[in-house]
């Protein structure tokens, strides 16, 4: 007979690992599944919003996190082609804005979940989930009481459970490459150009992360754009991801719920995605742990929906004008230079995004 788990978590990104860790520490029997072979690469800007420190403190993860190779960012520059429009110094931040390789970060959080008692199986692709709690995978079937879909922006769980909103026509593709750059400062460089925008930051030593969000019409040429600003850059290995934006999914049905990007995708520019994934995981688990009887499931889902809405309201709304601009590369390229004339409001938006 198949072994039964209290919760099966699909996807071992930040949302899935965090949810598993909290559930296991609360005494639940948790199975965490991922299709990738860990540690695995992840298309990301590799920057962690300073608000994550509050979570590390809450779950006793500060010392362990600090052992990982990382860079404390010293500032944020908004650039338009070769010109710097604005620099925000991070000196006054109480907690550091961290740049860290997602391959290292995600593998670390999985290890912390395992230390907390989670059973983790990688190289296991989830194919179908059922409301009975059955999970069909590439290596066999598993049985859970709850299923948490933390399988990212193209979530199989969301599609299977009928939670995914119809696809929006997304005209943008996300690109990312790691590179060696001598003499790179410790600022996060957010650059606008006619085809889209990019982020560049040191992750550790001379290793840096360069990512871009490009209009899909020009998406074959991230290297050409990179060479425009760094003429001596060798050919890089580029990874891509799509869609960049999509409509939010319904958060759950019965005992199948969604967290992280599977529930709602956050605009890459604001650097909130990982924090948002961690927090949505915590909110979902809090509601699940309150359920003592079957009749309480629907109420728990309502609570999660309310908390999630509040999270989106507080985290996502402050930058809505920015997001409106970013959805169209031409629009952003034309209007972004105006921020020179509004340093006050722009600084306030940045403050809200980084939680100060
Ligand atoms: C270009 C770009 C730059 C970004 N930069 C930043 C940034 O600097 N800072 C930031 O905070 N956010 C950034 N983000 C957003 C951030 O990457 C995501 O919000 C974050 O990774 C979401 O975490 P998650 O755990 O929900 O999903 P993911 O990290 O996507 O993890 C999902 C996991 O599910 C697994 N999986 C998927 N399907 C299956 C399946 N069928 N079976 C089993 N496993 C499966 C995958 O292998 C993966 O490990 C960026 C996004 C883009 C596109």
d(CA 5, CA 133): 9
Which ranges constitute the DSSP H helices of 141-255? 156-160, 222-229
d(CA 32, CA 20): 7
Measuring from atom 29 of ligand 1, which residue has the nearest CA?
13
pLDDT of residue 319: 62
Best residue among 46, 108, 151 to mutate for probing ligand 1, ranked by most atoms within 8 Å of CB = 151
How far, in Å, from the CA of 261 to the mean position of ligand 1? 6
List of the chain residues with pLDDT < 70: 1, 219-220, 315-320, 355-356
Half-sphere exposure of 70 (CA within 13 A, CB side): 21
> What tokens does 236 get?
């890089």
d(CA 291, CA 297): 6
C-alpha distance across the termini of the chain, in Å = 52
How far, in Å, from the CA of 13 to the mean position of ligand 1? 6
Measuring from atom 27 of ligand 1, which residue has the nearest CA?
152
- Cβ atoms of 105 and 142 closer than 8 Å: no
pLDDT of residue 311: 87
d(CA 151, CA 223): 29
- Cβ atoms of 282 and 14 closer than 8 Å: no
d(CA 118, CA 155): 22
- Cβ atoms of 75 and 92 closer than 8 Å: no
Best residue among 108, 240, 248, 268 to mutate for probing ligand 1, ranked by most atoms within 8 Å of CB = 268
How far, in Å, from the CA of 191 to the mean position of ligand 1? 22
Question: Given the CA of residue 16, which atom of ligand 1 is nearest to it?
Answer: 25
> What tokens does 353 get?
């995004």
Question: Given the CA of residue 14, which atom of ligand 1 is nearest to it?
Answer: 25
d(CA 266, CA 288): 24
pLDDT of residue 36: 98
Q: List Cβ neighbours of 60 (8 Å cut-off, separation of 6 or more).
A: none
- pTM of this prediction? 0.95
- Cβ atoms of 108 and 68 closer than 8 Å: yes
d(CA 236, CA 230): 12
How far, in Å, from the CA of 268 to the mean position of ligand 1? 11
Measuring from atom 18 of ligand 1, which residue has the nearest CA?
273
**Helices 102-115 and 14-25: angle between axes, nearest 10 degrees:** 20
- Cβ atoms of 184 and 206 closer than 8 Å: yes
Measuring from atom 38 of ligand 1, which residue has the nearest CA?
151
Enumerate the β-bridge partners of residue 257. 148, 252
> What tokens does 11 get?
């996807």
Measuring from atom 21 of ligand 1, which residue has the nearest CA?
274
pLDDT of residue 32: 98
**Which residues lie with the beta carbon below 6 Å from any ligand 1 atom?**
10-16, 33-36, 42-47, 125-126, 150-152, 156, 174, 176, 211, 213, 241, 244, 260-262, 266, 268, 271-275, 277
> What tokens does 281 get?
């995981």
> What tokens does 90 get?
């991070």
pLDDT of residue 206: 87
pLDDT of residue 269: 81
Best residue among 34, 140, 158 to mutate for probing ligand 1, ranked by most atoms within 8 Å of CB = 34
> Which among 335, 275, 337 is positioned nearest to 311, based on CA atoms?
275
Burial of 318 (0-12, 13-18, 19+ CB in 10 A): middle
pLDDT of residue 129: 98
Residue spans of beta strands (DSSP E) within 161-289: 172-180, 187-193, 196-204, 207-215, 239-241, 252-253, 256-258
β-pairing, 4-10 vs 30-33, is: parallel
pLDDT of residue 24: 98
d(CA 280, CA 263): 9
In order of start, what are the domains of the chain with their CATH numbers?
A: 4-46+101-168+245-315 (3.50.50.60), 172-244+325-353 (3.30.9)
How far, in Å, from the CA of 183 to the mean position of ligand 1? 29
């Amino acid at each position: 007979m198949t072994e039964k788990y209290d919760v099966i978590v699909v996807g071992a990104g930040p949302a899935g690992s965090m949810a598993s860790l909290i559930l296991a520490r609360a005494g639940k029997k948790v199975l965490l599944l991922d299709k990738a072979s860990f540690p695995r690469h992840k298309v990301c800007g590799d920057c962690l919003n300073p608000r994550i420190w509050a979570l590390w403190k809450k779950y006793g993860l500060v010392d362990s996190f600090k052992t990982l190779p990382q860079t404390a960012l010293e500032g944020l520059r908004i650039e338009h082609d070769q010109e710097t429009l604005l620099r925000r110094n991070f000196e006054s931040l109480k907690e550091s804005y961290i740049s860290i390789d997602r391959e290292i970060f995600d593998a670390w959080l999985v290890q912390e979940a395992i230390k907390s008692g989670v059973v983790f199986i990688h190289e296991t692709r989830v194919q179908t989930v059922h409301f009975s709690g059955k999970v069909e995978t590439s290596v066999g079937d598993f049985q859970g009481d709850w299923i948490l879909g933390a399988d990212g922006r193209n979530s199989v769980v969301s599609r299977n459970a009928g939670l995914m909103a119809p696809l929006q026509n997304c005209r943008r593709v996300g690109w990312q490459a790691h590179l060696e750059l001598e003499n790179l400062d410790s600022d996060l460089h957010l650059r606008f150009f006619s085809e889209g925008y990019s982020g560049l930051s040191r992750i550790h030593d001379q290793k840096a992360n360069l990512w871009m969000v490009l209009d899909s019409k020009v998406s074959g040429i991230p290297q050409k754009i990179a060479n425009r600003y760094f003429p001596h850059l060798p050919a890089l290995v580029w990874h891509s991801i799509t869609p960049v934006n999509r409509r939010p999914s319904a958060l759950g049905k019965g005992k199948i719920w969604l967290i992280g990007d599977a529930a709602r995708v956050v605009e890459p520019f604001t650097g909130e995605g990982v924090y948002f994934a961690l927090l949505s995981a915590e909110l979902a688990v809090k509601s699940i742990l309150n359920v003592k009887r079957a009749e309480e499931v629907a109420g728990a889902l309502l609570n999660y929906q309310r908390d999630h809405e509040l999270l989106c309201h507080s985290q996502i709304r402050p930058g809505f004008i920015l997001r409106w601009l970013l959805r169209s590369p031409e629009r952003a390229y034309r209007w972004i230079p105006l921020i020179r004339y509004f340093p006050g409001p722009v600084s306030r938006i940045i403050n809200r995004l980084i939680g100060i």
